[in-house]
Structure 1
Amino acid sequence: MDERTRRRLKLEELPPGGRRRRSSQHAGRRRVFLRWLRIVLIVGVLLLTGIVAATVGAVFAVARNLPSLDELTRHDTALTSFIYDRNGKMIASLHGAENRVNVDSKDIAEVMKKATVAIEDERFYEHHGVDIEGLVRAVLVDIKAGSLVQGASSITQQFIRNAYISQERTFSRKIREMVLAWQLEDRWSKDEILTAYLNTIYYGASSYGVQAAAQTYFHKTAKALTLPEAALLAGIANAPSYYDPINQPDIAKKRRDLVLSSMLSQNLITQVEYAEATALPIEVFKKPPAAKQKSSGYFVDYVTQHLINTLGANTVYQGGLKVYTSLDLKWQTAATNAVMRALPDANDPIAALVAIDPKTGYIRAMVGGRNAEKQKFNVAWQGGNQLGSAAKTFALTAAIEQGADPRKTFYKDENVTVSLPGYGSYPVRGEGFGRIDLMKATAYSVNAVYAQLAADVGPQNLIEMMHRMGFTSDLAPVLSAVLGTNDVTTLETASAYATLASGGIYRKPQAILRIVLPDGTEYYKAKVKSKRVISDGVAYWVTQALKGVITGGTAYPNGFIGRPAAGKTGTTDNHADAWFCGYTPQLATAVWMGYAKENTPMGLIHGRVAWGGEWSTIIWATFMKAAHAGLPIKDFPRPTTPPVWRQWDRKYSRSASPSPSPSPSPSASKTKKPSPGPTTTSPKPSPTPSSPSPTPSSPPPTPTESPSGGILNWWPWVAWLFGS
């Protein structure tokens, strides 16, 4: 007998009155239950109504005070700036903590867009900025899980949050985000919204936006991304640190495969594509591509500093500028190679090289040391060095302008102490040339002759000429200035020699040609300003004298480049500085060589004495040959305004001698420092250049050794140099 039957029989055994009382009690309890149930339902409905009313009221309150999208200012996002060479090749990127590069939709791979939509907002193309269905689904999932496990923000909402409003986690912010997302969908196409979103989100490793991320992880553009690469980027954007593909590749692979699975389930890829992509390991670069082309590091630093001085660091590193420069990357590489080939060892001296287009003043190449990453100091423009005998060029220029014909103006090379009222005296040792004209004295770089010439020209006139032709440093007008005792930079020296190459027209050195803002507006465009500072006749005859330096003087044979060229060597005391500054009609280049520590003697470098006619000239010639490859061979044009020659009857000058001058061994002239004392010299070649000296089409024959020693008689020179 079951329990129900026993209860029924027990109830039947009760008398009629007992049964009525039991039924009445049961009915009473039911009425009480129903009464309380009604109360609970009424209270619940009231509470729900209140909550809904409060929510709606809050929404309306927030929405009523919410500015429209037009009234909001989009957040300033840091954009990476780029520097390009003259041909549009990117040579550097500049950014701060955020590396962000905006790109157009056409420059983003379609597979990247599909992967992002698949994992972030699969109903992106169906909703109007707010995915109500997705929102409800996310809430139910979160309730079931008991925690926030599924996001509810659409791609449009995420973009609004990143671009227009704060990141605070409040109810009012969420409402504001939804309303603005709805507004944005009324104005922008889906592709515009997706592109903007992909340009703003963070992918880790300081990379903001898909272009920066593609370059950082894969060293390629966003347009070139493959399916597995795009899936990886789309996956790590949710939590870049956790899904870091560099430090946590296994976790990153699981996330990437989840994205691929989502793409497969949404029919965005085929089963074959899915299988092939998931089979691949995570392959990313551990470091982003170099911010600078290795060979152009010093030039980039020079340009960057000028940009900062003009625009400020924030604009330079966060303004998304496109800076087009005068650099020729091919020539820059040739310049770097020329230096490294001559001075390959870490303990070798360093060298600086600057090449300038004389027709524009545009800087085509700049080397400022051995390694821009390790040696930040740019010797080419930040540090000054004594110019040595390369300063003689400007004394010659001043003399020719004053009427001295270099073919017919003579001085006597002898031990002499030059003096001038107000300037004191300056002793210089002769080298045994006797009476010699300025053409030969220039080719052989005769100190005693030029010390006398500078006194006759006037130290103040020499310094004025140097400033006129391109030097900007403070220069002391002293008697020793002609021998290069003032400190100057390689950049300003190249500029001054470019003035000669251009026929006497000075053009300020320029490195920046154009600056373009992120919206395409041209902010700056360079203008070439030309100023004639000496006549073309003066420049022409200085050039003819400097040709002799290469064809048979201190730069022979190392300076020969197979085309018309002119230049001047320079060496200072103890061989601490060695220069060669030379030019063709198409390019002017100055090369300095020395140790970073000032006044450190160089001695022998790879078996060669480090004076101006050796390694500096070799570096110059190596670079100039490479830079001129493919350029037409041009000679310097004859002047339209010849100089006016005058009788040069000055304190130290000598009239022309009918008898030939003796041919002693000239010296690699070195420059003493401003303090008085005898000037030391060292033997050097003794060929006799012509006046003017034409440039041969092939290297001239080696001069024969003179009785007193010549270009082949090196041992006495080396013995003297090292005191043996």
Structure 2
Amino acid sequence: MNTAVRQSGRQKPGVIRLMIRFLLLAGIIGVSGMLAAAGSAYLLQPPPIQADQSTVVYGADQSIIGEHHNGRQQYWVDLEDISPNLVQASVAVEDDEFYEHSGFDFSRILSAAAVNIRTLSKAQGGSTITQQYARNLFLSHDKTWSRKLEEAFYALRLEAHYGKQEILEGYLNTIYFGHGAYGIEAAARLYFDTSAEDLSLAEASLLAGVPKGPSYYSPFSHPERANERQQLVLSAMERTGVITAEEKESAEHAPLSLEPPGQLSDDRIGPYFQDHVQSLVEQKYGMDPKQGGLRIYTTLDPELQKKAEKWIRYEIPKESELQGALTAMDPETGDVRAMAGGKNYQESTFNRAVDAARAPGSALKPFLYYAALEEGFTPLTSFRSEPSEFTIGEQGQTYAPGNYGEIYADDFIPMYEALAVSDNVFAVKTHLSLGPDALVNTVKDAGISSDLSPIPSLALGTQNVKPLHLTNAYLPFANGGKKTEPRLITKITDDEGNVLVENEPEINQIFDPRKTYVVTDMMKGVFDVSMDAYTSVTGRSAAHLFNRPLAGKSGSTDYDSWMAGFSPDLAAGVWIGYDDNRKMNHAEEGQISKRIWAQFMEEGLEDELKMDFPAPDGIVKTPIDPETGLLASEECGPSRTIAFEKGTEPQRSCTEELENRQVTNPEENPNQKEEQLPGQEEKFWERLKRWMQP
């Protein structure tokens, strides 16, 4: 028993000695590491005191449309040209021991470490101004232990080779103040439209508080929080003795006149476009545009971009919560010439042109009728427009699509008229007669990557697509059946001109040029107010806004309004709707997309020749009698010229064999794809009587 006790007593000194040896060894290793790091910091060459060069973004005309500065901005100012109020405020609130330490404030580091251990996080920082500057120059802002070690080493290098004034100057020129403003000069201009040199104590104390949380303490977005932070900054300045209590009180009550938000970042032309370019540079090419030194050459037309933004702002009521998107492309190359992802970038940076997926409605019908042409239909192929109910699926469900306003012809109508007036019953009958996959395959061939289901309502555009994709899918109709991928970037070089990325247009023949021309010719009818149809053409409200050959198609759902179309030189698509998917008031809001599109196209093409669409070989343009669908004759009255693939146009005249025509036999009408329905004979004789009247 006693022996056991004595053995236990002999073990304790051994454990203690082991712990002491371990701590000594850890201390030796730690000190050696610190000495090695310090020695390396002194032996290595001085790190660059300024950030990398700016990344410059160019438009299609080689003009500069934007820059990424990685904190440097274009406004680097010397320390003596920065208001002492701002310098003192920043030191007081960010690092009041800045002039005493050698890059580290160990009391702050230990305090932050204690908080992080207690909360099991790395949320609390103890970084000095030198460490923050090192992070801005060289590192990401990820809160990882490895990044902290790198930050500490860079801070050592900065302190080893530069004086406090140089470090402070660099810090104040690279710190982020929110809303695209890097550096104090950019921030002073952004928030107060003044220079950093002229900042008052009240202005300086407000700005010095922003970098702690540029979004959280934004004077634009959260003025109350910014004011509370300003009080903290002023208290820190009083505590450190750089201002008196009277000066503090005076600054707290001094009136501040903030500029309207966004005037600095508005110097970017096409901010939605540039955001998407930045995303492509990062995700597709694995580069960081904020690192600097890149030259990014884009397809944006600055003048066309201004017109796109102009018409969206003009047509969408300012007080309305309606949003809009517009994309404009070159049909031949696929180059994106303009992109507006919303009506106001400063209010919402969400890019609806590339990220919003919405139902296109009838804007999908041109692809349906192209698929029909491939199956032997012609522009004169007829179905009956009337309330219809279809039995679908194995369970025998019924589907009853309706026309807008429940307006029907109650008669057979040809395809060209069905497209112009956007007859939904005709579209569903066409879709079902072609089979469920024809439209899906055609749309995918055109470049729409959405996961579409071959359901009957797909003919009416009930499944979502993105505005950029829809505009791009229209290009084959304007480009002889050639599909072109959207191109935003033509070339990326480094600052010495070495080409890092070069993009040529991606062009593939996917559609038959004759059939695409026939569809294009039918799409021109959308704006033909002279068409003798049973109801108005859908482009009627916009037809008077342009004076050149254009083809297009509108689309609408309860929640969306679309207009897409093209000339030989330019294609554009417009979407209008609410972000929260609320229903639109189509009586008041349903025509906005058409007006934006029409006015943008007219103004955007004002310097271009008024060229019609060139017809490929194998196309014949034939005058047709709208009443009979046969070849026109003066005796039959007004005619309409329609494009056909050669060999599919009618061969008989409207004056031939009218009395002998077997109206009860549908096989006599080669353009008719539907079985005889009751009432057809009466309708035909009514038309005949009207034709024979003097």
User: TM-score, normalized by length of structure 1?
Assistant: 0.55
- Secondary structure of the corresponding residue to residue 570 of structure 1: strand
Please tell me whether Structure 1 or Structure 2 has the larger radius of gyration of its CA atoms: 1
Q: 1:310 to 1:319 in 2, by over 3 A?
A: farther
Q: 1:200 to 1:311 in 2, by over 3 A?
A: farther
Q: 1:363 to 1:658 in 2, by over 3 A?
A: closer
Q: 1:307 to 1:438 in 2, by over 3 A?
A: same
Aligned length: 485
| TM-superposed deviation, 1:343 | 1.3
Alignment partner, residue 579 of structure 1: 562
For residues 395 and 551 of structure 1, what CA distance do their matches in structure 2 show?
21
The 8 Å contact of residues 85 and 327 in structure 1, kept in 2 or not, is answered as yes
Q: 1:293 to 1:460 in 2, by over 3 A?
A: farther
- Secondary structure of the corresponding residue to residue 487 of structure 1: coil
**1:548 is the counterpart of 2:525:** yes
Alignment partner, residue 378 of structure 1: 351
For residues 344 and 295 of structure 2, what CA distance do their matches in structure 1 show?
25
Which structure 2 residues correspond to residues 46-125 of structure 1 after superposition, within 5 A?
A: 77=51, 80-94=54-68, 99-100=71-72
Which structure 2 residues correspond to residues 435-450 of structure 1 after superposition, within 5 A?
A: 435-450=412-427
What is the CA RMSD across the aligned residues, in angstroms? 5.3
Alignment partner, residue 281 of structure 2: 307
Alignment equivalent of 1:559, drawn from 543, 563, 566: 543
**1:602 is the counterpart of 2:585:** yes
Q: 1:584-619: per-residue Cα shift (whole Å, max 9, x none)?
A: 0111111111222225132432xxxx33xx222111
For residues 631 and 343 of structure 1, what CA distance do their matches in structure 2 show?
27
What letter corresponds to residue 428 of structure 1 in structure 2? P
For residues 66 and 457 of structure 1, what CA distance do their matches in structure 2 show?
75
Q: 1:285 to 1:395 in 2, by over 3 A?
A: closer
For residues 564 and 335 of structure 1, what CA distance do their matches in structure 2 show?
20
The 8 Å contact of residues 81 and 93 in structure 1, kept in 2 or not, is answered as yes
For residues 535 and 480 of structure 1, what CA distance do their matches in structure 2 show?
26
Q: 1:177 to 1:345 in 2, by over 3 A?
A: closer
Q: 1:173 to 1:84 in 2, by over 3 A?
A: closer
Q: 1:239-274: per-residue Cα shift (whole Å, max 9, x none)?
A: x979xxxx99xxxxxxxxxxxxxxxxxxxxxxxxxx
Alignment partner, residue 466 of structure 1: 443
What letter corresponds to residue 543 of structure 2 in structure 1? G
Q: 1:558 to 1:241 in 2, by over 3 A?
A: closer
The 8 Å contact of residues 51 and 71 in structure 2, kept in 1 or not, is answered as no
Q: Which moved more, 1:549-558 or 1:71-80?
A: 71-80
| TM-superposed deviation, 1:485 | 0.8
For residues 174 and 434 of structure 1, what CA distance do their matches in structure 2 show?
84
For residues 262 and 561 of structure 2, what CA distance do their matches in structure 1 show?
39
What letter corresponds to residue 395 of structure 1 in structure 2? L
- Secondary structure of the corresponding residue to residue 534 of structure 1: coil
Q: 1:419 to 1:586 in 2, by over 3 A?
A: farther
Q: 1:577 to 1:358 in 2, by over 3 A?
A: same
Alignment equivalent of 2:326, drawn from 342, 353, 371: 353
| TM-superposed deviation, 1:447 | 1.3
Alignment equivalent of 1:691, drawn from 633, 642, 664: 642
Alignment partner, residue 296 of structure 1: 270
**1:342 is the counterpart of 2:315:** yes
For residues 436 and 688 of structure 1, what CA distance do their matches in structure 2 show?
16
For residues 173 and 588 of structure 1, what CA distance do their matches in structure 2 show?
55
Which structure 2 segments of 5+ residues have no match?
1-34, 82-98, 101-129, 139-149, 200-206, 210-229, 234-257, 530-536, 621-626, 633-637, 645-694
| TM-superposed deviation, 1:419 | 4.9
Which structure 2 residues correspond to residues 30-49 of structure 1 after superposition, within 5 A?
A: none
For residues 378 and 278 of structure 2, what CA distance do their matches in structure 1 show?
45
The 8 Å contact of residues 46 and 157 in structure 2, kept in 1 or not, is answered as no
For residues 375 and 386 of structure 1, what CA distance do their matches in structure 2 show?
22
Q: 1:521 to 1:688 in 2, by over 3 A?
A: same
For residues 94 and 513 of structure 1, what CA distance do their matches in structure 2 show?
18
Q: Which moved more, 1:619-628 or 1:77-86?
A: 77-86
Alignment equivalent of 2:480, drawn from 477, 485, 503: 503
- Secondary structure of the corresponding residue to residue 361 of structure 1: coil
| TM-superposed deviation, 1:415 | 2.3
What letter corresponds to residue 562 of structure 1 in structure 2? N
- Secondary structure of the corresponding residue to residue 586 of structure 1: coil
Q: 1:177 to 1:71 in 2, by over 3 A?
A: closer
The 8 Å contact of residues 349 and 602 in structure 1, kept in 2 or not, is answered as no
For residues 580 and 688 of structure 1, what CA distance do their matches in structure 2 show?
28
Alignment partner, residue 632 of structure 1: 609
For residues 354 and 286 of structure 1, what CA distance do their matches in structure 2 show?
28
Q: 1:619 to 1:486 in 2, by over 3 A?
A: same
Alignment equivalent of 2:388, drawn from 398, 416, 424: 416
Q: 1:626-655: per-residue Cα shift (whole Å, max 9, x none)?
A: 111111222111113559xxxxxxxxxxx9
Q: 1:286 to 1:199 in 2, by over 3 A?
A: farther
- Secondary structure of the corresponding residue to residue 100 of structure 1: coil
Q: 1:198-252: per-residue Cα shift (whole Å, max 9, x none)?
A: 9967547649xxx977666579xxxxxxxx99999xxxxxxx979xxxx99xxxx
| TM-superposed deviation, 1:345 | 2.8
The 8 Å contact of residues 506 and 530 in structure 1, kept in 2 or not, is answered as yes
Which structure 1 segments of 5+ residues have no match?
1-60, 117-147, 150-157, 182-195, 220-227, 233-239, 249-283, 644-654, 661-686, 694-724
**1:526 is the counterpart of 2:503:** yes
Q: 1:339 to 1:167 in 2, by over 3 A?
A: closer
Alignment partner, residue 620 of structure 1: 597
**1:399 is the counterpart of 2:382:** no
For residues 167 and 600 of structure 1, what CA distance do their matches in structure 2 show?
52
| Identity fraction in percent | 25
The 8 Å contact of residues 329 and 571 in structure 2, kept in 1 or not, is answered as yes
Q: 1:361 to 1:421 in 2, by over 3 A?
A: same
For residues 260 and 340 of structure 2, what CA distance do their matches in structure 1 show?
29
The 8 Å contact of residues 79 and 99 in structure 1, kept in 2 or not, is answered as no
Q: 1:433-460: per-residue Cα shift (whole Å, max 9, x none)?
A: 5111111111111111111111122221
Q: 1:658 to 1:176 in 2, by over 3 A?
A: closer
| TM-superposed deviation, 1:410 | 1.6
For residues 428 and 173 of structure 1, what CA distance do their matches in structure 2 show?
73
Alignment partner, residue 327 of structure 1: 300
**1:363 is the counterpart of 2:336:** yes
**1:590 is the counterpart of 2:544:** no
Q: 1:520 to 1:414 in 2, by over 3 A?
A: same
The 8 Å contact of residues 356 and 466 in structure 2, kept in 1 or not, is answered as yes
For residues 161 and 579 of structure 2, what CA distance do their matches in structure 1 show?
59
What letter corresponds to residue 479 of structure 1 in structure 2? P
What letter corresponds to residue 382 of structure 2 in structure 1? F
Q: 1:449 to 1:212 in 2, by over 3 A?
A: same
For residues 357 and 157 of structure 2, what CA distance do their matches in structure 1 show?
59
For residues 629 and 445 of structure 1, what CA distance do their matches in structure 2 show?
29
- Secondary structure of the corresponding residue to residue 604 of structure 1: helix
For residues 308 and 572 of structure 2, what CA distance do their matches in structure 1 show?
10
Alignment partner, residue 491 of structure 1: 468
The 8 Å contact of residues 354 and 491 in structure 1, kept in 2 or not, is answered as yes
Which structure 2 residues correspond to residues 136-155 of structure 1 after superposition, within 5 A?
A: none
What letter corresponds to residue 386 of structure 2 in structure 1? E
Q: 1:323-373: per-residue Cα shift (whole Å, max 9, x none)?
A: 222222211111111112111232252222111111111111122222223
The 8 Å contact of residues 595 and 602 in structure 1, kept in 2 or not, is answered as no
The 8 Å contact of residues 418 and 452 in structure 1, kept in 2 or not, is answered as no
For residues 362 and 566 of structure 2, what CA distance do their matches in structure 1 show?
16
For residues 520 and 230 of structure 1, what CA distance do their matches in structure 2 show?
36
| TM-superposed deviation, 1:292 | 4.0
Q: 1:75 to 1:440 in 2, by over 3 A?
A: same
Q: 1:600 to 1:66 in 2, by over 3 A?
A: closer
Q: 1:201 to 1:564 in 2, by over 3 A?
A: same
